[in-house]
Chain A
Amino acid sequence: MTPPKTRKSGELAFAAFLSLASLVLLYNAYAISGFEALSAPGAIPMATTLVMVITTAIIFIKTNRAKPDGETSFWVDIMPLRIAVVTLMLIGYALALKPIGFLPTSAVFLLVVIKYLSRRSWAFSIGISLLSLVIIYLVFRIVFTVLMPAGIVPEGEALAWVRTLFSGAN
């Protein structure tokens, strides 16, 4: 196995992070039951985190020895603005989902991300995001019966109302 001669931008920091995180986890695994017994609840966690510490340490040393490739730049190749923005929007979505509810949050999320990524007209973005949201809602709410947080939209009541309409017609 030949060690990679060059490393990507940020690779060393990632390796360092993994090494440190593995050490923390190993300490944590030791705290579960120590060296109490081979069959203790902490035995496998300790073994696996030890493996993690060893492998990440070797990876770190190897990565440290490799030269930076000089081609990749962290903010261009690894985490360009576009990906950072989408990631932040995802986090925003997750935070807003419970208080505001599935329908409005998803509509805004789809609209903004599609508009941002496609750089097409607002009409296109609004049309596509609303259409896909309607399809997703119908498929998952009605067919898969997935319950999403209703938030500020009284969708349960709305659905019940639609159902009474149909049952009334029968």
Chain B
Amino acid sequence: MFDSLMYFLTVWTQPELLFLVGLGTLAGIYVGAIPGLSVTMAVSILISFTFSWDVYPAISLMIGTYMGGVYGGSRTAILLNIPGAPSAIATAMDGYPMAQKGEAGVAIGVTTVMSFVGGLIGILVLAVAAPLVSDFALGFQPRDYMLLAVLGILLVGSLSGGSLLKGIFAGAFGIAIGAVGMDPLTFTERFTFDTQLMRGGVSFIAVMIGMFGVSEALHQLHHIDTPAVKQKIGRIVPSWGVVRKYLPLSMQTSTIGVVIGALPGTGGDIAALMAYDHAKRVTKNPEVPFGEGAMEGLVAPETANNAAVGGAFIPMMTLGIPGDAVTAIMIGALFIHGLNPGPMLMIDKPDMFWFIVGALSLANCFMLIFGLTGIRVFTKIVEMPRAVLIPLILLLSIVGAYAVNNSITDIYWMLGFGVFGYFMKHYDYPLGPVILGVILSRLLDDNWRRAIISERESLPRFFEGIITSPLSLTLFVAVILIFVSQTPLWGSVKSRLARKAA
């Protein structure tokens, strides 16, 4: 217990780490606030730049960026009706009408405080629940991990893009990319096309930067003539009365956020939309109708998406299953520093877990401070024209892809995936499942082989194992349900049932 506290305080007491978390948070807020720059982009580029650092400073910087970025998306949602990040889509619905009425300052103030409240609750739940989940996870069978991985990819696929088919394709494609190279168990070549180039596998950093950096930057070229963003960042601290009034609602929506965040495959964007919906249902007589600038419509998504950050770290730290694209990238960051997220991490390296909890809570405090004070000097960065911003992102993507392995090949991979990702984006194929697939490929493969070998290569025995274990059965049913609910079959069954009932 005392040790945990010491690990927790590491980041608070070392000036260097404190500074890096603060810097990351500040950068994250601005990355989140600039439409076209995303947290996924920033963190994936950061992984490559910080990989020669020690693990603590690197993680400090990335956690700050993550936390700040989730909050930063609300700025442009309120001021311009352009959500800086998907998790701020719901924020725009009532935030922008408030700004139109000249209440942008109040909206930003409330958003900031409520994001802090949500973030805090998420972190508290993480600190309490993760050790329990990891104890529980020690009893997981390889097949359970396999099913969890499939579940996560399916959830991201079905929720992020709309078309489940395209989502499943993207996930499978990611798993295939992850399999390229020498098989770690048997040293068989997989998808190498007999070339030396492919034997080392495809660097997942290159895939990430390509898909989230270059493809996004190319996509932004469509909107290059949109005038640069002009933001007024004022200093408005909401009164205690206002905060207290919405505290009960924020508790409920934070809970929604944590739970949604903790489910593998679902992250802040879905949490925010569900919380918004919840607020609409429980608020009987809003002072201002929803959609026209209701404060509740601002409180709900903003608490939920920040609470989801803590929630998303639960499956990530305890099971090694990322909740969404950003946590997939965070797992990548831990991998690259030689850490293997999963139940053993909590036992082998409790310091790492408590350090992350500490960094998250510190980032949350920095977010509150920066959000409320507003730093006018930096508004210039947000006003930078895209004609300058996009070439810089492209350059950073190239430097980032090169930096990890000092390899030109990685740049080619990165560019290839960038252009491919650009087309995927254009034709509505989701990119999130690809990254999730790449990250989970190894886990899925290893656990499938472990599971089937322990059942002596017998499929009937494998399924018998699933059916006789309540956990495996639950996961298996969940996988089947998601799949069936998205196929035409479900529609026809439902209509037949409805006809029978009538």
Contact = CB atoms under 8 A, between A and B. Distances in A.
A23 interface: no
A91 to B, nearest CB: 6
A93 B183 CA distance: 33
B185 to A, nearest CB: 7
Contact of A43 (B53, B168, B449): B449
B210 to A, nearest CB: 11
Contact of B163 (A1, A109, A136): A1
A130 interface: no
A118 B385 contact: yes
Q: Is the interface of B mostly helix, strand, loop or mixed?
A: helix
Contacts of B387: 114, 117-120
A136 B426 contact: no
B392 interface: yes
Contacts of A163: none
Interface in A2-43: 8, 10-11, 14-15, 18, 25, 28-29, 32-33, 37-39, 41-43
B52 A39 contact: no
A90 interface: yes
Given A14-B427, A145-B52, A94 B191 contact: no
Interface in A59-86: 59, 62, 78, 80, 82-83, 86
B396 A136 contact: yes
Given A37-B457, A48-B179, A98-B408, A32 B395 contact: no
A153 to B, nearest CB: 15
Interface in B352-400: 385-388, 390-392, 394-396, 398-399
Q: By CB atoms of chain B within 10 A, which of A55, A87, A149 has the most? A: A55
The interface size bin for chain B is: 35 or more
B190 A52 contact: no
A41 B186 contact: yes
A148 interface: yes
Contacts of B391: 109-110, 113-114, 117, 129
B486 A1 contact: yes
A44 interface: yes
A102 to B, nearest CB: 8
A146 B49 contact: yes
Contact of B445 (A10, A33, A44, A56): A44
Contacts of A45: 176, 179, 190-191
Q: Is the interface of A mostly helix, strand, loop or mixed?
A: helix
B419 interface: yes
A147 B165 CA distance: 42
Contacts of A80: 221-222
Contact of A82 (B172, B221, B459): B221
Interface string B221-237: 11010000000000000
Given A43-B448, A83-B422, A118-B388, 13 more contacts: A8-B427, A28-B191, A41-B186, A44-B444, A51-B168, A51-B169, A55-B169, A80-B221, A86-B394, A97-B402, A140-B399, A144-B50, A144-B403
29 contacts: A1-B488, A29-B176, A33-B188, A38-B459, A39-B449, A39-B452, A44-B441, A45-B176, A45-B191, A48-B172, A48-B176, A52-B172, A55-B169, A55-B172, A58-B165, A59-B166, A78-B423, A83-B422, A87-B218, A90-B214, A94-B398, A94-B415, A102-B399, A117-B391, A118-B385, A129-B391, A140-B403, A144-B50, A149-B402
The 10 closest A-B pairs by CB, nearest first: A118-B387, A117-B387, A41-B183, A55-B169, A113-B391, A51-B172, A41-B188, A146-B403, A144-B49, A48-B172
